[in-house]
Structures are given as C-alpha cells and as structure tokens.
Structure 1
Amino acid sequence: MGTHVIKMPDIGEGIAQVELVEWFVKVGDMVSEDQVVADVMTDKATVEIPSPVSGKVLALGGQPGEVMAVGSELIRIEVEGSGNQRETAEARPVEAAAAPAPAPAPAPVAAVAAVASAPAMNAPASTYAAPDIVPRQAHERPLASPAVRKRALDAGIELRFVHGSGPAGRILHEDLDAFMSQPQRASASGSPGYARRSDSEQIPVIGLRRKIAQRMQDAKRRVAHFSYVEEIDVTALEDLRQHLNKQWGDSRGKLTLLPFLVRAIVVALRDFPQINATYDDEAQVITRHGAVHVGIATQGDNGLMVPVLRHAEAGTLWSNAGEITRLAHAARTNKASREELSGSTITLTSLGALGGIASTPVVNTPEVAIVGVNRMVERPMVINGQIVVRKMMNLSSSFDHRVVDGMDAARFIQAVRGLLEQPACLFVE
C-alpha cells in the first residue's frame, strides 16, 4: 500500500490562496476516483475538488473556514501501489456547474452542486424503508442545509434522530420525508409546539457568508453612501407588460418587470455616464464604462449573489429577460461561474413582493450606483382633480457620493421614472 497526497490545486487567475468550505469525507472513509472530497472558495466562485484516485482517507489538511495556500497539502489517501508521497500531484478542480445533481450545502457554508444522492433515495417516500435510528449525541451537529434545518425546525424534528444518506452523512430533504413518513420514528424527536427551549447554535461565518460579510463591511466602510427614493406610477408599464405577454408570451417567453427596468437604466445612462462607472479608490481612478453590465442581485438559500447581465445595452426585452432567468437560476442552484459573478458596472436589486415601502441598498463596490426596486401596490392617487386607483412602485437607490453628486443621482432616477411612466419612450431612439 502507498500514500497519495492531493494538494490544493492552482485554480488560476493568479489566486494564491483559497478558503476550505466543506469536507465531504472524513478520516477512515473509502473514496473512489472522481468522487468530490471537498469544496473550496475563491473570491467569488465555489469549486469542487475531486479525488484522482481510489483509496482510504488517512488525513485531512485543514478545517472548514481555514484559508489554505495553493500547493499546500489538502488530503492524504491510502492507495494500492506506491502512491505519490514524494511527487507533486494536484486534484483536478471542477467548477460547481459540472456536478451531476445540485443540492444545498450545510449551513452556513456556500452551497455548490453536490454529489448525487444514493440511488435508494430516489424511491418515493412511501416506499422508503428508514434505517434504524441511531441518535447522535445531544451536542453533535448533523450535516444539513439551511432549508433542511428550517423545515425540520418547523416540523419539530430534532435532526440528531434523522439518518443522513448524503455525502458524509448529510441529511437531505428525502431523509426528512422518509423520517416523517414513519410516525413512530417522528415521535422520537419529541412533540412540536410551544415547549420551553434552552438550546443554542453557534454558526461559524465561513464560505459565501464570510465573503458577503467582508464585502458589505468593506462597502460601508469605504463608500460615502447616500440613498434616494422616488415614487413611480407603473400602471401604463404593467398594461404594456401584460399585453406583450398575452401577445407573445407563449412564443417568446413571459416578461417580468426586470427587463423593463434594465432597459430604462440603459437608456437613462446615456445621459449620465458618470453613474455607469467603477471607482478604484486606492489608485484614485474613475472608469466610465460604455458597456452596461447589470448585476442582478439574487438571493439563494445560503446568501446573496450578483450574477451579471452583460451588454444589456445590446439586448432586447426578451433576450435580456431570458438571460436574467438563466443567471438567476444558475446563482440559486450554485452553478454560476466565476465569470458570471464578476464585472458588473451597475447593480439592480429587487425583493419582489417583499420589497417593502423603501430600502437603503448597499453599493456593490467598486460600482458607484445600485438601483433598488420596492413592491408594487395599488393606491388611490389624485390625477387632474380626480381620485383614481394607480399601480405605484418606489425605486430606492444608493450612490457613492465620492463620485456621484446628489443632483446627478436625482436627475438619473427621474429619467428612469419618466421612461417607466411613459414606456413607449423606452423604444424611441
């Protein structure tokens, strides 16, 4: 028997170190060739590290949350033959998008597409034979995604009683389905309701959550934020959107408000190039961009990601709508590539129906502007002395006051407002 050492691979683009996000194996496990053993994270993208060999895990080179240098020892595996203990062998990094089946990662680390669950878990819950329950210790934290944890909490189930069939014993939704289909098993976790609780949970800030925290803290520390809120009558815009969907929705795809907002931003930026810009505050250089690369803030199970709609200025309503849908799905399923998550020149953020009345979005540095969309509501408005019901929506936008003057920001949003209230102007050249 020999020892095969897998070193932290060189992911490229000059990256010297990465964060170890999650292990899918533990010491003593048997691994097969091409099995994913760990997730690591660069500044934005999460990458899976597969094993190039089959064998038994002898040692792990770090703990989740640890920042490791490229070339450092990641894992040792006992293999048949002489191994490569004296050689330099690196695992082949595979982008998360290449995984065969997506699954959320355990809280609070960044999720990537996970290894497909065991074949037995593909059976319906009604035919699933749950294994005997071997309760974990009360202090033991089972592996599970945030969505699984929330579902278990809502159902009053203690995860330590649930058998996990995923990698490294991770508890999947299928495991909860199987557990809850066995009444005598579910009762083992105690009854839900309003019983007193004294438990607590410590969640290390690692992976995607750490990156989000760092970026938000850096943005608030370095950017001179100011926000501007404007009310917009979108009645005519909604009428146009519904008409276009009725006319061409089946053949071209349904339109949401987002592609109209993107179009309005693109047209308004022609007169306000200082807002479609990035600011290098260390070099003291402002770069104004001709291309409009719109970041679409997207909320996933594990945190906020900003995939980029590139060259929005060249897209039609439907082409931009299709690309927004594709990018949002890629971000939510953790399949967005590093290139798809970088390079934006202005960001659009929306909480949809949860958008509230107003908000103060944080500028996505090094950009200098972010446009926030609040929810649409019907309200009585006075028009020409008459009270009429109109569909109203607020735009809550933030700017970097070091680059964008208050009057320019207000005029820009007013231009967007005019385009949305008279949507025919969106298409007049």
Structure 2
Amino acid sequence: LLSVSSFFSAKKVVPFKLLDIGEGIQDVTVKEWFVKSGDQVKQFDDICEVQSDKASVTITNRYDGLIKTLHYKIDNVALVGSTLLDFEIEDNSTDVVRNDAGETAKSTENQTIDNSEKSERRSDKVESENITLKEEKVLSTPAVKRIAKENNIKLTDVKATDKNGRVLKEDILAHLQKISADPRVKVTIPHFIYSDECNVDQVMRYRNDVKDSLMERGISLILMTFFIKAASRALQQYP
C-alpha cells in the first residue's frame, strides 16, 4: 500500500462592501451590473456601475473567486459600507487527507486535472463574456445618460468624439439634432393652446358705420384697433 497526501483548498464566503468613494457621498444608486451570480471573476474586473448626485463610478473587483449573491437590483439605493455582493474565495488554511490505496490516489489526481481543465474552460468563457460586456458599455456622464433616457436613445448609437471614447453632452445633443432633422423620424413636440370668446357684434356694427367715411380720408379701420384700445383701458383699471 502507498500513502499519498493530497491538499484541498477550503472555500469561504466573504462580503464585498461598498467602500467610501469620497466627496462626502453617503449613498449611491446601482445603475448596472457587469456580473451575475455564479460568475467566476478575477481581481480588477468591473463589478458594477453606481451613480450619486455628483458622479458615476465603476466598482472594480478585489478578489479572485465565485460570485454567490447580488444584494441589490438595478436602481436600488445602496449605502456606503453596505454589502453589495457575496464572494466565495479560496481559504488559506489547508487540510491533509491521507489515502492508503494507490489507485485511489491516482483517481484523485486525474479528477484534479479534469477539474482544473474545466475551471480553465469556464474561466475563459467568463472572461469572454466580461469582454463582451465591456465592449457594450459606453462611457458617459450622468447628465448624458439622463438626456438619453428622457429621449429614449441608445448611447451605443451616439458617435463619441472624446479621445477616450466617452460620449459627451455635445455628442448626444448633436445626435438629437440629427434625428430631429430626419423627416423619417417623428418628433412629438408638446403644444399649448389657449382660446377665449367674446361678443363683438357692437364693435362690428360701429366699424361698418364709420369705415366708409374713414376710407375717404385714407384711414383703414381694422379690428386690431379696437382690441388695442380695449387692452389699454383694461390696463388702466388693472395695471
């Protein structure tokens, strides 16, 4: 019989807390998640984007491990110091397991290699998904995102002029002007109409009585003359 010692790393769950992001900010709104439960992530991967009344911040990862639980949904408010999500990471402590059968040790070794290959394939898949998420993410300011949301515009459709690929306020305003000028795009503009009615029969009779004599003197008596006179009288009583 052959004795073989195998070392297995234990797992532990740790909370990922929202750290102080400065400027006296006490709470933020979760605007976008770049990960989901069950994802295998690495340090410095983008986790989520949060927004305060002063800035929009991308939270990056501090661990290598598996995401267990997301504690907030999109547009939920998170307080500084609260737990955003839970991570399952490798524990530093190790346990020694003794096997007295050589075949069992060989089987364990093969299983470890197989699990390692599966883990690498899963990591490659997760990394590919993270790259896709990053490609779809558009850098912009909270003001630009508000304009896009109010006008139902996808930021991916807006041409960014910033050297870092960030969509500026000028970019989205230019995009709005462009689609407004397109006759194929229906732009709904709210209108406000006020109307009032009054009886001007006496005014019309008086005008008909005097307009001929005034025309002989080269004067054209129009209704606007009476309206201006009425408005001036009203302003004298109600200045």
TM (normalized to structure 1)? 0.25
TM (normalized to structure 2)? 0.42
Q: Which one has a larger percent helix, Structure 1 or Structure 2?
A: 2
Q: Relative contact order (C-alpha < 8 Å, sep 6+): which is higher?
A: 2
